[in-house]
C-alpha cells in the first residue's frame, strides 16, 4: 500500500506510564504495516504544519487497528494526549521501511530496545515468535517503570536492564546482553531500536561478536517523506537522491543494516 493521508478513528487512548500514552486507531493502513515502520500524526492546531512521526507498536490487520505508543515531549504530542475515544485524527502512512523479519527465521534473535524505542518491538516480537529459533527481548529502562514489558513477554523471554538497578541487570542493554552471553546464550542476529548512544553501543557489540545487526534510527523529522533532507545519516554508500554518502532516515530507513551506517 502506497503512503497516503487519511483520517483514522480513535478506538481508545490510555496513559500507561509517566508521560507515555497508548493510542489505538481504526484505519485501513493497518493492512500494510510492517514492524519498524511509522506513521505521521497531524495536530489539529494548524500552526503546527508538519506531522509528528510515531512508530507503530502493533498492527491488527484483521481489525484494521494500528497501535501507537508515544511519549509527550512537546506541544504536538501534548495535544495528542488530550484526544479521546471516538474522535478522529489525520495520519500519513505507512512510512519508512521495516525490520527484515526473514533474517530471524530459525535463528536466535536479540531484540534490543530502550526508551521510546521499546514500542516497535511488540509487533516485531509478534511476527518473529513463530519463525525464530529463540527470541530474547533485551530492554533498557531508567527505573522500575517498565512499560510494555508484559506485552513483550507474550512472545519471548524479556531481559531487563535498569540504570538504577531496581529491575533486572543494573546498567544498560549491553550489560544485559553480556549477562545472557555469560549464561551461554549468543545471538545470531540483532534487531535494535532506541536512542543513538544505545544504537552506537549495539553496533560496536555486533562488530565485536561478528553478528548481523539491524538498527532503527530515532531522529527528529520534518517532512517524513524524504523531500527536505532534514534527517540524514552518514553511510558507506551513495544516496541516489543527493549523490553523497548519506541516507534519509525517513525513507531509506528508519531501519538500516548496522554495517551500512556511520554512527
Q: Which of 237, 200, 4, 220 is nearest to 112 (CA)?
A: 200
Percent of the chain with pLDDT over 70: 92
Q: What is the pLDDT of residue 250?
A: 77
Task: Note the pTM of the prediction, 2 decimals.
Answer: 0.93
Q: Which of 136, 126, 150 is nearest to 56 (CA)?
A: 126
Q: What is the pLDDT of residue 109?
A: 98
Between 44 and 1, name the one with better pLDDT. 44
**135: Cβ–Cβ under 8 A, 6 or more apart, which residues?**
104, 108, 109, 111, 125, 128, 129, 155, 156, 157
Model pLDDT for residues 104-161, shown as the tens digit of each residue: 999 999 999 999 999 999 999 999 999 999 999 999 999 999 999 999 999 999 999 9
Q: What is the pLDDT of residue 243?
A: 67
Model pLDDT for residues 39-66, shown as the tens digit of each residue: 999 999 988 888 999 999 999 999 999 9
* Ordered domains of the chain (ranges, CATH): 4-95 (2.40.30.10), 101-213 (3.40.50.80), 219-263 (2.10.240.10)
Residue for cell digits 504536538?
A: 76
Cβ-count burial of 154 within 10 angstroms (0-12 exposed, 13-18 middle, 19+ buried)? exposed
Q: What is the pLDDT of residue 50?
A: 87
Residues 119, 208, 99: CA angle, nearest 5 degrees: 30
The secondary structure element, H or E, covering residue 161 is strand 157-162
**110: Cβ–Cβ under 8 A, 6 or more apart, which residues?**
136, 138, 177, 180, 187, 189, 190, 191
| Cα–Cα dist 122/111, whole Å | 10
| Cα–Cα dist 41/24, whole Å | 13
Between 140 and 222, name the one with better pLDDT. 140
Q: Are 224 and 205 in contact (CB under 8 A)?
A: no
Q: Is the dihedral of CA 198, 15, 164, 57 positive or negative?
A: negative
Supply the DSSP symbol for 98. Answer: -
Q: What is the mean pLDDT of the chain?
A: 92
Q: What is the pLDDT of residue 244?
A: 66
Give me 25's grid cell: 486507531
What is the pLDDT confidence band of residue 263, given thresholds at 50, 70 and 90?
confident
Per-residue pLDDT, averaged over 224-238, amounts to 67
Q: What is the pLDDT of residue 238?
A: 67
Give me 190's grid cell: 540483532
Residue 239, pLDDT above cutoff 70:
no
Q: Which of 174, 111, 115 is nearest to 147 (CA)?
A: 115
Amino acid at each position: 500500500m502506497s503512503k497516503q493521508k487519511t483520517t483514522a478513528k480513535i478506538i481508545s487512548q490510555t496513559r500507561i506510564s509517566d508521560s507515555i500514552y497508548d493510542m489505538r486507531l481504526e484505519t485501513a493502513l493497518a493492512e500494510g504495516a510492517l514492524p519498524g515502520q511509522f506513521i505521521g500524526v497531524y495536530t489539529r492546531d494548524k500552526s503546527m504544519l508538519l506531522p509528528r512521526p510515531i512508530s507503530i507498536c502493533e498492527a491488527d490487520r484483521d481489525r484494521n487497528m494500528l497501535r501507537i505508543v508515544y511519549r509527550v515531549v512537546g506541544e504536538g504530542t501534548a495535544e495528542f494526549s488530550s484526544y479521546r475515544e471516538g474522535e478522529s485524527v489525520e495520519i500519513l502512512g505507512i512510512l519508512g521501511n521495516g525490520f527484515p523479519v526473514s533474517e530471524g527465521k530459525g535463528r536466535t534473535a536479540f531484540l534490543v530496545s530502550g526508551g521510546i524505542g521499546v514500542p516497535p518491538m511488540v509487533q516485531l516480537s509478534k511476527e518473529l515468535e513463530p519463525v525464530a529459533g529463540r527470541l530474547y527481548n533485551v530492554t533498557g529502562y531508567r527505573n522500575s517503570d517498565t512499560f510494555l514489558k508484559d506485552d513483550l513477554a507474550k512472545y519471548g523471554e524479556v531481559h531487563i536492564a535498569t540504570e538504577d538497578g531496581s529491575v533486572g541487570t543494573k546498567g544498560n542493554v549491553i550489560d544485559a546482553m553480556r549477562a545472557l552471553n555469560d549464561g551461554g546464550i549468543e545471538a545470531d542476529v540483532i534487531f535494535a531500536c532506541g536512542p543513538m548512544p544505545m544504537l552506537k553501543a549495539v553496533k560496536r557489540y555486533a562488530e565485536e561478536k561478528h553478528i548481523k545487526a539491524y538498527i532503527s534510527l530515532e531522529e527528529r523529522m520534518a517532512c517524513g517523506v524524504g523531500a527536505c533532507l532534514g534527517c540524514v545519516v552518514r553511510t558507506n554508500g551513495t544516496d541516489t537522491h543527493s549523490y553523497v554518502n548519506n541516507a534519509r532516515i525517513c525513507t531509506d530507513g528508519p531501519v538500516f543494516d548496522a554495517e551500512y551506517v556511520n554512527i
